[in-house]
Amino acid sequence: MASDPLTGTYNFLLVFMSFAVACLASYAALDIANRIRGSGGARKAGWIAAAAAALGGGIWSMHFIAMLAFALPVDIGYDVGLTLLSLVIAIGVTGVAFTLISYPGGKVGPARILGAGLIMGAGIASMHYTGMEAMILPARLDYTQGLFILSIVIAIAAATAALWISTRETEWRAQLAACFVMGTAIAGMHYTGMAATCIESAPDLTGFGGVQFHQESLAAIIAVSTIFILVLAMVSAAADSRIGALRQREADLLRDSEARFRNLVLNTGDLILVTDTKGFITYAAPSSPAIVGLTPERLIGSRIIDHVDAAAAGAVTAVLTGFAESESAAGAEPITAIWHGESHGSIIFDVILRDLRDERSVGGIVVTLKDITQREQAFRAMREARDLADRAVEAKTRLIGLLGHELKTPLNAIIGFSELWAADVASGSKQAEHAAIVRDSGQRLDRLINQVLELTSVQSGSVTVQSRRLDVYDLLARRVASAAATAAAADVTLELADTLRGGTVEADDVCLGKILGTLIDNAVKFSSAGDAVSIDAAISGDGTGSVITVSDRGPGLDEETCDQAFEPFFQSGSIYTRSHDGAGLGLAIAKAYADLCGFRLSLSPRPGGGLAASITVPGGGTPCNDQAVVAQAATTGQPFGR
């Protein structure tokens, strides 16, 4: 019986769906191929299987959806066994192809890609035509030879292109374009194969078998399932890529950290060792030859206590014993040790021990030896210099005391005989004038010697300080009385604040009296006729003591000169032009007493001229009965004046 050709039609929605599935499968396969290149062992095998499932399964899904898109004027059924066989063929040949280009490693050449592409293309063609044979319908299938061969060529070309692209590092834009080209080639292969198919009705084939499907529903199910699987594969690949990047970053950071610490160990001036709890050295830094003259090979296996002095060996052993007994506080303080070197001589180290047995990368006691030889030598030199300076001060004190005694003995005789001489001659005569000059010169020299001896005595610590509660007003009144005659002769008024009555301080009577006497005498000396010297007291602004201030209206000093005025033999003007006598030792002696007692002595120029000398006596006290004045001083932090 004659047969008539059957003409089929296509559901273009399903055609488009098949093309989309082919493109998505290509993209997923290329994305997973990146994981294959960066993996090894079981992970590589797993990613090869995933790529085969993605590309092979995607191609099969594209093929089956395209088959469902094809409609004939007869009922079509499908042989389940052949249909599943076509799926197995697609996934299997794709897996074989990816395996061929992945093993062994190294650069993949054109021959391997072409061979794998030939196998994969032939397998895809087999998958297509096996799927065609799975169709059960009352018709016979035949193929046009030219288009049949062309479909196989397209399959091989598409497979080869897919494998070649999978071996290349590409950015996402190039990968997107590649998946579009591959999807087009895969779809082109299928529809070329369909164009090669000739379907002729066969009325004698009346039997019908297989499974029938609702085309649109089944195609949708297959498409959605395939897309879900492919998206899941791509998400897995992206997650793996992210995890791999994090691992690589951690590995890079760890490698950089190891390199950094290795360089630090190599370039540090400290010797780093690792020992067990018995003191046997298990690791020595490569820098050991430069530091102690022993190579790591010679140090490893020896005991650290065999290289240091006995005292340090005992201390190190005690720390190691503490570590062995899990005493975490052991080894906190450095141990000073003398290392007995063979070529480098004796080296002084600070030894620090840290228990890092729980650190897997260390697994022992880290011993850091810091070379302090130069520091110890410097300390020794400083101690020797200090001892030398102390001996020099002691020698100076003895010398000045001796000179003072040897000078004062004949000087007392000179002064005594000059007074006798002045008494024996007529008053107003030349001899009387000469005798007065000798007497006055001797007395000035005697005062200078006394001042030098007093300054030396205070600075050497020979003066004993005994503090007690003192009445400020009474102490100042006595000092004012002592200076009254000199002030009256110079026509200078001494003003003692009446508000000082009842005020007290805790200090040594002699020391504080000498300091105040010097300040009052200086104020009178540098005041002009008709001026006044005021003496006041207040609580310091920070509440830490009492401040006694002696102010004058003399020529004063500038800020820089005020800082120099306490130096011995300081003169505020030229020694040839100044109008006041004195060797410049008064303020130096006062400063020495202040330092001895813990007082703070300072000078400051007064606005409008003059000088304010202040002494701060630390500790509690009641320097003033006038609460308004006390409040003013506490607020301003400055002593008040009148």
Instruction: Quick: pLDDT tens for 438-484.
Output: 877 877 777 777 777 777 777 777 777 788 888 888 888 888 888 88
Residue 479 DSSP label? H
C-alpha distances out from residue 338 to 335, 431, 476, 598, Å: 10, 78, 61, 42
Reported as a pLDDT band with limits 50, 70 and 90, residue 642 is very low
Q: Which domains does the chain have, with CATH numbers?
A: 9-205+214-244 (no CATH), 268-371 (3.30.450.20), 378-459 (1.10.287), 467-636 (3.30.565.10)
Quote the pLDDT of residue 280: 93
Dihedral, CA of residue 511, residue 512, residue 514 and residue 515, to nearest 10: 120
Mean model confidence pLDDT for the chain: 75
- CA-nearest of 538, 505, 545, 498 to 629 is 538
- What is the arithmetic mean of pLDDT over 305-326? 87
Q: Which residues of 560-578 are buried (b: 16+ CB within 10 A; e: fewer)?
A: eebeebbebeeebeeeeee
- CA-nearest of 334, 333, 351 to 292 is 351
Dihedral, CA of residue 120, residue 125, residue 128 and residue 133, to nearest 10: -130
Which phi and psi angles does 579 have, rounded to 5°? -100, 0
Residue 622 DSSP label? B
Quote the pLDDT of residue 217: 60
Alpha carbons 483 and 524: distance in angstroms, whole number: 8
- What is the reported pTM? 0.41
- What is the arithmetic mean of pLDDT over 575-583? 51
Residue 360 DSSP label? T
The encoded tokens of residue 163 equal: 């494998």
- What is the arithmetic mean of pLDDT over 38-67? 77
Cβ 552 vs Cβ 610: under 8 Å = yes
Type and span of the H or E element at 218: helix 215-267
The encoded tokens of residue 449 equal: 């010697």
Cβ 42 vs Cβ 166: under 8 Å = no
Instruction: Quick: pLDDT tens for 52-63.
Output: 787 777 788 878
| Residue 631 predicted with pLDDT over 50 | no
- Other CB atoms closer than 10 Å to residue 336's CB: what's the count? 15
Reported as a pLDDT band with limits 50, 70 and 90, residue 265 is low
C-alpha distances out from residue 460 to 272, 399, 457, Å: 48, 13, 5
Alpha carbons 392 and 33: distance in angstroms, whole number: 87
Quote the pLDDT of residue 404: 66
- Other CB atoms closer than 10 Å to residue 184's CB: what's the count? 15
List the beta strands (DSSP E) in 426-498. Answer: 467-471, 493-496
Cβ 552 vs Cβ 530: under 8 Å = no
Reported as a pLDDT band with limits 50, 70 and 90, residue 638 is very low
| Least confident window among 23-37, 181-195, 426-440, 607-621 | 23-37
Higher pLDDT, 635 or 343: 343
Quote the pLDDT of residue 630: 36
